[in-house]
Amino acid sequence: MRHLTIATRESRLALWQAEHLQSRLAALGHPSELLGMTTKGDQILDRSLSKVGGKGLFVKELETALEDGRADLAVHSLKDVPMELPEGFSIACVMEREDPRDAWVSGRYARLQDLPPGAVVGTSSLRRIALLQALRPDLRYEPLRGNLDTRLKKLDEGQYDGIVLASAGLKRLGLHGRIRAVFEPEEMLPAAGQGALGIEVYGQRDDVHAALEPLGHLPSLLAVSAERTVSRIMGGSCSMPLAAFAVWHGETLSLRAAWGDPDGKAPLIRSEGAAAVHAVADAVRLGETVARELQARVGSGQ
pLDDT in tens, 195-239: 999 999 999 999 999 999 999 999 999 999 999 999 999 986 556
pLDDT at 80: 86
Average pLDDT over residues 80-101: 94
pTM assigned to the model: 0.91
pLDDT in tens, 155-183: 999 999 999 999 999 999 999 999 999 99
pLDDT at 87: 95
Cα within 13 Å of Cα(101), Cβ side? 15
pLDDT at 236: 64
pLDDT at 42: 53
pLDDT band at residue 45 using 50, 70 and 90 as cut-offs: very low
Distances (CA, A) of 218 to 11, 127, 213, 247, 269: 28, 27, 10, 13, 30
pLDDT beyond 50 at 184: yes
pLDDT band at residue 302 using 50, 70 and 90 as cut-offs: low
The catalytic residue positions are 80
Average pLDDT over residues 23-30: 96
pLDDT beyond 70 at 108: yes
Q: How far apart are the C-alpha atoms of 155 and 159, rounded to whole Å?
A: 6
Integer-rounded Cα Rg, in Å, for the chain is 19
Task: Give me the residue spans of the domains in the chain.
Answer: 1-96+196-216, 102-183, 217-302
Q: Which CATH architecture has domain 217-302?
A: 2-Layer Sandwich (3.30)
Q: How far apart are the C-alpha atoms of 212 and 222, rounded to whole Å?
A: 17
Average pLDDT over residues 44-60: 56
pLDDT band at residue 1 using 50, 70 and 90 as cut-offs: low
Average pLDDT over residues 22-28: 96
The CATH number of the structural domain formed by 1-96+196-216 is: 3.40.190.10
Query: In terms of DSSP bridges, do strands 4-9 and 73-77 run parallel, antiparallel, or are they unpaired?
Result: parallel
pLDDT beyond 50 at 154: yes
| Nearest to 8, CA basis, from 89, 57, 53, 63 | 63
* Average pLDDT along the chain: 91
pLDDT at 52: 46
Q: Is 139 exposed, middle or buried (0-12, 13-18, 19+ CB in 10 A)?
A: buried
Please answer whether residues 283 and 228 qualify as being in contact, where contact means their C-beta atoms are separated by less than 8 angstroms.
no
Superfamily of domain 102-183: Periplasmic binding protein-like II (3.40.190.10)
pLDDT at 67: 96
Report the range of poorest mean pLDDT among 42-56, 74-88, 100-114: 42-56
**Phi and psi angles of residue 160, each rounded to the nearest 5 degrees, phi first:** -140, 155
Q: What is the longest distance spanned by two Cα atoms in the chain?
A: 59
- Do 102-183 and 217-302 show the same overall fold? no
pLDDT band at residue 51 using 50, 70 and 90 as cut-offs: very low
Q: Which of 300 and 89 is assigned the larger pLDDT? A: 89
